[in-house]
């Protein structure tokens, strides 16, 4: 996944910790094998190479993520869309590597015509899916959260009830620490943002943060961040610096954080409130910073 992970686990008896590292790593490895576009033999790479219109048999976890991604794409009006792999690559944020300059208008237009969540058909009953245009799936806005969920699920199946799993800033917290305190985590603020720290208690909750300060490049006098707006085919440029979403599972928190980042602060808040999402948004405001919270997030602070 191109990042590090950590797990803090309350071990109920001596000797129970020996296989934790390998088990959690195995959960992540399974997600990578299915959903990483950086792996040529992964299921997502196989799907993206398949003949257009041909049904592809896919693993259950892959279809869980694809189904959720398509539903969130519909809910968000396409602000989140898992079919923009071609655009991600064209802007230098995919496996082909960085680009020296932004793609030209014609390239973006062609990739936009091919993309679109409505151009993917998903048949969960028969465990298959197909694309009907030359689009490319990209799960980078949802798979990391799903990986955190899968690691948490592995821990639960082994009888561990109290833990905090983190992978690249996405977190899943369950139970409490040995001292009875919840798993307290500090939300990462954008560099330079003069805002007070935001500390959250993850007790049966997941948190995911999307930020424009993690991967970006400068060219032709502009700054281009890695979050692509599927509606324009260009990096989102609405002043939103980071979005944190709390949710029961990390997969949804991850994708919703991306959607709200693309929608922008005002529309993103309306979207979060319409779904009852707990969201915290940090935006650049002139030479300063501003923050906004959804109704559900504000209620958690009371």
How far is 204 from 288, CA to CA, in rounded Å? 34
| pLDDT reading at 80 higher than 90 | yes
Residue with tokens 């219109």: 53
Residue with tokens 């996944």: 1
| pLDDT reading at 217 higher than 60 | no
| pLDDT reading at 220 higher than 80 | no
Q: Which residues contact 36 (CB under 8 A, 6 or more apart)?
A: 1, 42, 44, 45, 143
Quick: pLDDT tens for 190-201. Answer: 877 878 878 899
- Would you tell me how many other CB atoms lie within 10 Å of the CB of residue 211? 23
| pLDDT reading at 211 higher than 60 | yes
**Tokens representing 282?**
């940090």
Helix H or strand E segment including 74: helix 60-75
What are 285's strand-pairing partners? 288
pLDDT category at 286 given cuts 50, 70, 90 is confident
Nearest to 150 by CA among 169, 133, 131, 170: 170
Q: Are residues 207 and 170 in contact, defined by beta-carbon separation less than 8 angstroms?
A: yes
pLDDT of amino acid 214: 72
Quick: pLDDT tens for 113-165. Answer: 999 999 999 999 999 999 999 999 999 999 999 999 999 999 999 999 999 99
Mean pLDDT calculated for residue range 167-180: 94
| pLDDT reading at 184 higher than 80 | yes
pLDDT of amino acid 106: 96
Quick: pLDDT tens for 239-254. Answer: 899 999 999 999 999 9
How far is 24 from 148, CA to CA, in rounded Å? 9
Q: Domains in the chain, start-ordered, CATH in brackets?
A: 164-301 (3.10.520.10)
pLDDT of amino acid 16: 64
**Tokens representing 43?**
């299921």
pLDDT of amino acid 195: 84
End-to-end CA distance of the chain: 36
pTM of the complete model: 0.94
pLDDT category at 86 given cuts 50, 70, 90 is very high
- What is the distance of C-alpha 168 from the center of its chain? 10
Residue with tokens 């993309």: 115
Q: Are residues 201 and 184 in contact, defined by beta-carbon separation less than 8 angstroms?
A: yes
Quick: pLDDT tens for 35-62. Answer: 999 999 999 999 999 999 999 999 999 9
pLDDT of amino acid 15: 66
What are 246's strand-pairing partners? 207, 278
Quick: pLDDT tens for 121-131. Answer: 999 999 999 99
- What is the distance of C-alpha 26 from the center of its chain? 20
């Amino acid at each position: 996944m191109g990042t590090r992970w950590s797990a803090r686990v309350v071990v109920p008896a001596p000797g129970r910790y020996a296989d934790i590292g390998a088990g959690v790593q195995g959960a992540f490895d399974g997600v990578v094998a299915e959903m990483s576009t950086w792996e040529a033999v992964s299921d997502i790479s196989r799907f993206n190479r398949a003949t257009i219109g041909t049904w592809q048999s896919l693993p259950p976890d892959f279809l869980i993520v694809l189904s959720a991604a398509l539903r969130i794409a519909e809910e968000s009006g396409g602000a989140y869309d898992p079919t923009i792999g071609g655009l991600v690559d064209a802007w230098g944020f995919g496996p082909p590597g960085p680009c020296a300059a932004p793609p030209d208008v014609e390239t973006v237009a062609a990739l936009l015509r091919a993309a679109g969540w409505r151009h993917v058909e998903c048949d969960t009953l028969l465990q298959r899916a197909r694309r009907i245009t030359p689009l490319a799936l990209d799960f980078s806005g949802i798979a990391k959260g799903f990986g955190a969920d899968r690691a948490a699920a592995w821990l639960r199946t082994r009888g561990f009830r109290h833990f905090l799993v983190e992978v690249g800033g996405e977190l899943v917290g369950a139970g409490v620490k040995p001292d009875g305190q919840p798993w307290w985590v500090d939300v990462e603020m954008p560099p330079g943002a003069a805002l007070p720290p935001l500390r959250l208690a993850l007790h049966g909750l997941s948190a995911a943060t999307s930020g424009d300060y993690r991967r970006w490049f400068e060219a032709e006098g502009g700054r281009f961040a890695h979050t692509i707006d599927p509606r324009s085919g260009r990096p989102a440029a609405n002043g939103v610096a980071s979005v944190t979403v709390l949710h029961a599972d990390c997969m949804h928190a991850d994708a919703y954080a991306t959607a709200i980042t693309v929608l922008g602060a005002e529309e993103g808040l309306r979207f979060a409130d319409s779904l009852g999402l707990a969201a915290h948004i940090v935006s650049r405001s002139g030479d300063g910073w501003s923050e906004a919270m959804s109704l559900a997030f504000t209620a958690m602070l009371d």
